[in-house]
Chains A and B, each alone.
Chain A
Amino acid sequence: MKKNTGSTSTPFFDTPMGNLLKEYCENRLAVLALGAVVIIILIAVFAPVLAPQDPYDLAQLDIMDSTLQPMSESESGMVYWLGSDGQGRDMLSAIMYGLRTSLSVGVFSGLLAFLIGSLVGLLAAYFGGKLETFVMRLVDLQLSFPAMLVALMLLAVLGQGVGKIIFALVVVQWSYYARSARGSALSERNKEYIEAARCLRLPVRRVIFRHLLPNVAPSLIVIATVQVAHAITLEATLSFLGLGLPITQPSLGLLISNGYHYLLSGKYWISFYPGVALVLTIVCINLVGDKLRDIMNPRLKQ
């Protein structure tokens, strides 16, 4: 980051990625958000190492320590920074583990939707015709229903499970990628370099993946950041409603749902702190996505 405060024409920043980085670093809030996202990801990845307690190892739990206030100390000398829940679980550890589940479900489903959606969108744009009409009708139809409702319907029909919620999240999200991939690919398709590639009789696969995709990718990446945040929210919501993940793999949504029953007796911390973790994650990812969108949007550039 320090490099770009000096001369702006260092060779490193002349590459497209370097320029992007430089532009990104101009906004302090965006850098802060990116840092926070990195920290959150690290916490999720290293949760077993960082957490003071394995919240799902029954041997480490003591029912005597249940619903402790934040900052209180148990008899064994352990400090519960964020309190403990009804089973005597340390909330901080539970949140770290929950973050792990939430992030992996969000990122994995986002990635899958990204792959499927952009492929379908690219194919639709490249080949046009009936395929395109059909795909776009489907996308329009799906986008006319709120994502939340579609996911709810799917899970009502399919039942619970990790695989099922990922499936539901992919179904909900692919259409965004497909629409955007088609949109950008349509404008790229008629440019000279694609024409040139076709004139060289390169195989269709090569034209799509080596020529079209890299030029469509930036806008898709922006959507991907926002969509991952969306997926995490959606998963948390569905888990809160009891339709998402099973109790064996508690995500942040499920932790909040568990705390919901203690809320009215004033034990706010059981659902409050997982919610704070969730909100921080989503806000930071959204801030990064917003900044990326501004950078990629040529209309905002002078």
Chain B
Amino acid sequence: MTIFIIRRLMQSVVVLFSMSVIVFFGVFAIGNPADILIAPDATQEERDIAIVRLGLDQPLWKQYGSFVVNALQGDMGQSFVFSEPALKLIMKRAPATLELAFTALLVTVLFGIGAGIWCGLKPDALSSRGIMVGSILGFSIPHFWQGLVLIMLFSVYLGWLPAGGRGETGELFGITTSMATMDGIRHLILPAINLSLFKTALITRLTRAGTREAMLMDYIKYARAKGLSPRRIVGVHLLKNIMIPIITVLGMEFGRVIAFAVITETIFAWPGMGKLIIDSINVLDRPVIVAYLMVVVSMFIVINLVVDILYTVLDPRVRIDEVGT
């Protein structure tokens, strides 16, 4: 187990390093930032000063070298636009994204597992078939268009919920969050639904398949023969056994939620990391782009690592394999 973790950690470092090279040199391939950042009516002298100040006069490899050294100290460079450390900028926006991601995941778990078990227990009921058709739609309808339709329906046509922004935030257990105020919650509903629809569809199908398979197993029959209440059978015996694949998928989906938050945040003008990256790409704010990509790649590496470890902990069969090899 320890060797496995160490090996995975070393792999992660290699991935992170190669990503930093690709991202850094790639970002330098697009356009000359000096043209964008320095006002066109600046004199040559002002231009030169600005270029030196931004470090754009150094050779590429030197810029990369100082980038790596600084990045290891948590300094990813200054945003050209905001004149603030890029990492700080991202970290300032991260809570909004994480809040959205966690809410979406919560919605996914509640509705996905609930609907999945329902459909698995009563596969022929009309409601189950309706849910399954709905899940196909959830898969097929592009994420961003779902968001637009939600705005169309609930904000423009019905006027129930706000179409954009984060609303009023408040303190809750020392964290600034939209969930603390009624206004914030109202702002949170649509983006969270948008972000979770696809995942809910996925988890519903997964849970349904698992439930249908598990219900035929002997241990369920035995539990029933023992006279346990259906609630206990479903809540304990069934749930425990179908959780393994669901947790793995949920772990991977958490990363996906962060990636797709880019779209949701753009549509709902949610002031998170995703909106920041799109804005930064549009103005070629290179330090922010590089920092964002590095932060997200690191996040993914950590998530994948945790999911792998969780998997071996949860499923004894995997552990036996690991020992055997």
Contact A236 B142 (CB under 8 A): yes
Contact A233 B282 (CB under 8 A): no
Known: A145-B300, A241-B266, A266-B156. A278 touches B26 (CB 8 A): no
Asked if B102 is at the interface (CB within 8 A of a chain A CB), the reply is no
Bound-state Cα–Cα, A158 to B136, Å: 34
Known: A148-B260, A159-B30, A275-B149. A256 touches B140 (CB 8 A): no
Bound-state Cα–Cα, A264 to B151, Å: 8
Residue of B with least CB distance to A141: B15
Asked if A153 is at the interface (CB within 8 A of a chain B CB), the reply is yes
Contact A243 B281 (CB under 8 A): yes
Give the size range of A's interface with the partner: 35 or more
Asked if B107 is at the interface (CB within 8 A of a chain A CB), the reply is no
Contact B163 A275 (CB under 8 A): no
Contact A278 B259 (CB under 8 A): no
A171 to chain B, nearest CB (A): 11
Known: A157-B26, A263-B148, A272-B152. A152 touches B259 (CB 8 A): yes
A241 to chain B, nearest CB (A): 6
By a CB distance below 8 angstroms, the chain A residues around B136 are 283
Known: A153-B293, A241-B266, A266-B156. A279 touches B27 (CB 8 A): no
Residue of A with least CB distance to B257: A146
Chain A contact residues: helix, strand, loop or mixed: helix
Chain B contact residues: helix, strand, loop or mixed: helix
1/0 contact string of A138-166 vs chain B (CB within 8 Å): 00010011101100111111110000000
Bound-state Cα–Cα, A242 to B263, Å: 11
Bound-state Cα–Cα, A167 to B152, Å: 34
Give the size range of B's interface with the partner: 35 or more
Within B221-271, which residues are at the interface with A (CB < 8 Å)?
Answer: 255-256, 259-260, 262-263, 266-267
Bound-state Cα–Cα, A271 to B300, Å: 33
By a CB distance below 8 angstroms, the chain A residues around B289 are 156-157
Asked if B180 is at the interface (CB within 8 A of a chain A CB), the reply is no
Contact B304 A241 (CB under 8 A): no
Asked if B324 is at the interface (CB within 8 A of a chain A CB), the reply is no
Contact A242 B31 (CB under 8 A): no
Asked if B276 is at the interface (CB within 8 A of a chain A CB), the reply is no
Give the 4 A-B residue pairs with the shortest CB-CB distance, closest first.
Answer: A157-B26, A149-B259, A275-B145, A146-B259
A sample of 16 more A-B contacts (CB under 8 A), given A156-B293, A260-B148, A279-B142, is A145-B297, A146-B255, A153-B23, A157-B289, A158-B29, A158-B30, A240-B144, A253-B144, A260-B267, A263-B151, A271-B145, A275-B149, A278-B145, A279-B145, A282-B141, A283-B140
Chosen A-B contacts, 17 in total, with CB atoms closer than 8 Å, are A141-B15, A144-B304, A145-B259, A145-B297, A145-B300, A146-B259, A152-B259, A152-B277, A153-B293, A156-B277, A157-B29, A241-B144, A241-B262, A264-B163, A266-B156, A272-B148, A279-B140
A interface, CB within 8 angstroms of B: 141, 144-146, 148-149, 152-159, 229, 233, 236-237, 240-243, 253, 256, 260, 263-264, 266, 268, 271-272, 275, 278-279, 282-283, 286
